[in-house]
Amino acid sequence: MQSFFKILLVPFLLLFLPIEEEVEIKCLLEIMDYRGEGAYFVISVLDKEENYIKTVYVLGDDKSWFSELKYFWIHLRENNLFSDEDFYPLIDGISGPTISGGERRVFQIKVPKNLLNNSFHLRFETAVEDKAYYINDINIALNTESLKQTHIGQGFIKKLQFVALE
Amino acid sequence: MMKVLWRKIHFLLALGSALFLFLASVSGFILGIEALLDQTKPQAIDSLEDISLKKTLEVLNLNIKEVFEISITEKNYVIVQGISEDGFERFYVDPKTGLKISSVTPTSPFFNLARSLHRSLFFKNTGRIIVGIIAFLLILLSITGLILLTRRIGGIKQFFFLTKEKNIYRKGHIILGKWFFIPVLLIGFSGAYLTIDRFNAFTHQKSIIKTYAKGEKILDLNTIRLKDVVRVSYPYSKAEHDVFIIELKDRLFTVRQGDFRTLSEEVYPLHHLLKQWNYYIHTGESDVFVALIVSLTALALVFFMFTGFKITSKTSLDFLILNNNIKEASVVILYGSETGNSYQFAKRLAKTLRKENHSVGLTSLNNYGIFPKAKSILILTATYGDGEAPSNADLFEKIFISSKQLHTINFSILGFGSKSYPKFCQFAITLQSLLEKQDNFLSLMPLFKINNQSEIDYCSWVSMVINKLK
């Protein structure tokens, strides 16, 4: 019950901030050289208790494959965000095509400034049909320190690099 | 009896794949329409072969704030991932002017659904395998169909002449076969290839990787046409280890920023190109003409199935049900039926004779051949139009001349017709005189004609036949 309350509370608090200042972060993603379908990604900000706070970017735009991203899909279902009318606006403007083995991609994410350096996490959830699903392909603290480093993924991600633009 | 064999194979293939083939054709048609619509959009660039990569990089540099990546899709869209005046996004650009056309929007869920149905019937890998098998069956169907077609119209040369055929469904099937044999074969082949490729059948073929020493090779972007480009990834930063990655359809270059010195070149194996070619053929995404052909072919497949089942419906299932060891039968019943009435009588006759302990074979007049064990042949036939053969008997006279029975045959012919037509039972009369002329054919009794399917007349003929066969 308590965690449920928090899910409601955090976006609620965010609404009341005067103007939501955002940090723009440029990411370079490199993918392992695997064979198969394109990888689906969801990049989200989580709080300490692993509750989804904000979806910042997704790779893949066909909703039917998002069920492969199991935890994210549970989050969508619990919050009634999985119907077409809710889902597509949710990823509007923050989505790109799936990424295949051996490819690299540069994209930019926006994170509300107040989430930075505030014990939130940035999680890269990845899935490839018939291959694997990684709930924490990359899961890092959302702070200035870790945004300067290069990260190695647990699954499909080979390497992740950031440049904070501000 | 090769023709019967081909017909059986053709029919069994069609029956076995009917449902899936129908789904694949309908979804294929929808996707063909999507491909056509996509080519009418402003972001579809039709002159990619006239534009050099160098020119495009220059105009994008002038007009776009920051480019992360350029990709050129099968639909001839040039997409930039980067920062436009609206912030970071993916957007279509005109590669000649370097101006943004519009932002990329997700594909419509309806077409995604059609695509998913077409590729895997919503069953993921199991479905993909089924669809692959269907594509393979489509190859076999088009080949057996072509064999049947050339036999039916009397040789390849006849392809370019009009077909004389009364039955509208037969005529439709034949005309579609002439027009769509090649597209159907190509769609089947490319579909099967894409499925096989999807299951990594060709991964043993590896790319060839060359590395170049300093100054050995400068990549001349002027000579690279946009139609050959798949993707250009820009360097992530100004640091020297960050490079351009230029992927063409057949190879990939890594190039140093600034002087465009080539660092390495990866030449893709053959299957990479074959996949692109098959994708091009199968989807028609890159070309309005191909898109039009594949859409029409998908539609034609639906009509093939419709006309195919119309012409097989009543008689074709019989070799599965009755069969009908015609080679072993001592009494062979042949029917010539246009509307199915004579066929119904023939079936009844077969049943009656089996009760009398005769070994009976039943088939249409067009399936005539050498019946090694036959002692008697009973023919039940209607007449079509002006004394002509019904559609499943139109080849009989030709086959009859060329296949001589091994021993003497007793025969009896029963003609169906209506006295309201001047040429009452004309085709039966033709057959009677044709058979009488053969030395080893003995008439059991004179030609018997039935007016308007008279039940009484039929029964009296049957009892006469039974007596004669004893």
Structure tokens that stand for B393 in this block: 């008997």
Residues recorded for chain A = 166
CB-count burial class (<10 Å; 0-12, 13-18, 19+) for B312: middle
Tell me if residue B190 falls in helix, strand or coil: helix
* Chain segment B413-446, per-residue pLDDT in tens: 999 988 888 888 999 999 999 999 888 899 998 9
d(CA A76, CA A89): 13
Average pLDDT over residues B194-208: 87
pLDDT at B423: 85
Cβ contacts of residue A73 below 8 Å, gap of 6+? A66, A67, A82
Average pLDDT over residues B457-465: 92
Of A85, A37, A79, the residue nearest A59 (C-alpha): A37
pLDDT at A85 over 90: no
Domain boundary assignment for chain B: 2-39+109-202+281-312, 318-469
User: Alpha helices of chain A — where are they, by DSSP H?
Assistant: 2-15, 70-78, 84-91
Tens of pLDDT, residues B163-177:
666 678 888 898 899
Is residue B368 predicted with pLDDT exceeding 60?
Answer: yes
Cβ-defined contact of B236 to A28 (cutoff 8 Å)? yes
Rounded CA gap, B267 and B253, in Å? 9
> Among residues 131-160 of chain A, which lie with CB inside 8 Å of chain B?
none
Of residues B367 and B264, more confidence is placed in B264
**pLDDT, mean of residues B53-73:** 95
| Alpha-carbon torsion, ordered A78, A83, A86, A91, to 10 deg | 90
A107 and chain B in contact, CB less than 8 A:
yes
| Tens-digit pLDDT profile for residues B1-47 | 565 677 778 888 887 788 899 999 999 999 999 999 999 999 999 89
pLDDT one-digit tens code per residue, B443-460: 998 999 998 888 899 999
Partners of residue B253 on adjacent β-strands: B246, B265
Instruction: Over range B258-282, report the average pLDDT.
Output: 93
Instruction: Provide mean pLDDT across the span B379-391.
Output: 86
Q: Are B330 and B356 in contact (CB under 8 A)?
A: no
A11 pLDDT above the threshold of 60: no
In this prediction, residue B14 carries a pLDDT of: 80
Average pLDDT of chain A is 87
Greatest mean pLDDT range, B49-58, B170-179, B397-406:
B49-58
Could you read off the pLDDT of A110-147 as tens digits, one per residue?
Answer: 999 999 999 999 999 999 988 899 999 999 999 999 99
Mean pLDDT across chain B, nearest whole number? 88
**Minimum-distance CB partner of A84 among B109, B233, B245:** B109
What is the percentage of chain B residues whose pLDDT exceeds 70? 96
Average pLDDT of the segment spanning B328-342: 86
Per CB-CB distance under 8 Å, the chain B contacts of A163 are 236-237
Does the pLDDT at position B324 exceed 70? no
For A:28-47, CB contacts with B below 8 A are 28, 35-36
Map residue B334 onto helix, strand or coil.
strand
pLDDT band for position B73 (cuts 50, 70, 90): very high
Q: B443 in contact with A at a CB cutoff of 8 Å?
A: no
- Rounded to the nearest angstrom, the gap between the alpha carbon of residue A34 and the centroid of all alpha carbons in its chain is 21
pLDDT in tens, B345-364: 998 998 898 888 888 888 88
Distance CA B93, CA B87 (A): 15
Query: How far away is chain B from the Cα of A35, in angstroms, using its nearest Cα?
Result: 8
> Which residue's entry shows tokens 């490729």?
B197
Q: What are phi and psi of B250, to 5 degrees?
A: -115, -5
The whole-number pLDDT of residue A13 equals 56
For domain A2-164, give the fold.
Immunoglobulin-like (2.60.40)
Out of B89, B112, B237, closest to residue A62 by CB: B112
In the numeric block, the tokens 């057959």 are attached to: B431
CB A104 within 8 A of CB A30: yes
For residue B194, what is the enclosing H or E element? helix B168-198
Query: Among A20-24, B132-136, B316-320, which stretch is predicted with the lowest mean pLDDT?
Result: B316-320
Q: Inform me whether the pLDDT recorded for B273 exceeds 90.
A: yes
Question: Which of chain B's residues have a Cβ under 8 Å away from the Cβ of A106?
Answer: 68-69, 81, 233-234, 236
Share of chain A above pLDDT 90, in %: 57
- CA nearest neighbour of A114 among A13, A45, A6, A21: A21
Per-residue buried b or exposed e for B401-436, using 16+ beta carbons within 10 Å of the residue's own CB: eeeebeeebbbbbbbbbeeeeeebbbbbbbbbeebe
Separation between Cα atoms, residue B11 and residue B145, nearest integer Å:
9
Q: Is A101 near chain B, with CB under 8 Å?
A: no
Name the one residue in this structure whose structure tokens are 């403007």: A93
Say yes or no for a CB contact (<8 Å) between B109 and A161.
no
Prediction ipTM score: 0.81
Token output for A49: 């208790």
Q: Is the pLDDT of residue B187 over 60?
A: yes
Four-way CATH pick for B318-469: 3.30.450.40, 3.40.50.360, 1.10.630.10, 3.10.20.30:
3.40.50.360
CB of B88 within 8 Å of a chain A CB? The answer is yes
Q: Look at B245 and A28 and tell me if their CB atoms are within 8 Å.
A: no
Q: Which residues contact B204 (CB under 8 A, 6 or more apart)?
A: none
Beta carbons of A62 and B81 less than 8 Å apart: no
Write out pLDDT tens, residues B75-118. Answer: 999 999 999 998 899 999 999 999 999 999 878 889 989 999 99
- Closest CA in chain B for residue A36: B198
- Please give the Cα distance from B75 to A80 (Å, whole number): 35
B294-322 average pLDDT score = 78
Q: Check residue B221 and give its pLDDT.
A: 92
Q: Nearest 5 degrees, angle CA A13-CA A16-CA A20?
A: 100
Is the separation of the CB atoms in B271 and B205 below 8 Å? yes
| Burial class of residue B102 in the structure, from the number of CB atoms within 10 Å of its CB (0-12 exposed, 13-18 middle, 19+ buried) | exposed
- Give yes or no for residue A18 having a pLDDT over 70: no
H/E run at residue B415: strand B409-417
CB-closest option in B69, B89, B116 to A93: B89
Q: Is A166 on the interface with B (CB under 8 A)?
A: no
**Nearest CB to A108; choose among B88, B107, B236:** B88
Distance from CA of A9 to the nearest CA of B (A): 29
Separation between Cα atoms, residue B142 and residue B189, nearest integer Å: 11
Q: For residue B236, is pLDDT > 70? A: yes
Tell me the mean pLDDT in the region B393-403.
Answer: 87
Contacts of A96 in chain B (CB under 8 A): 81, 90
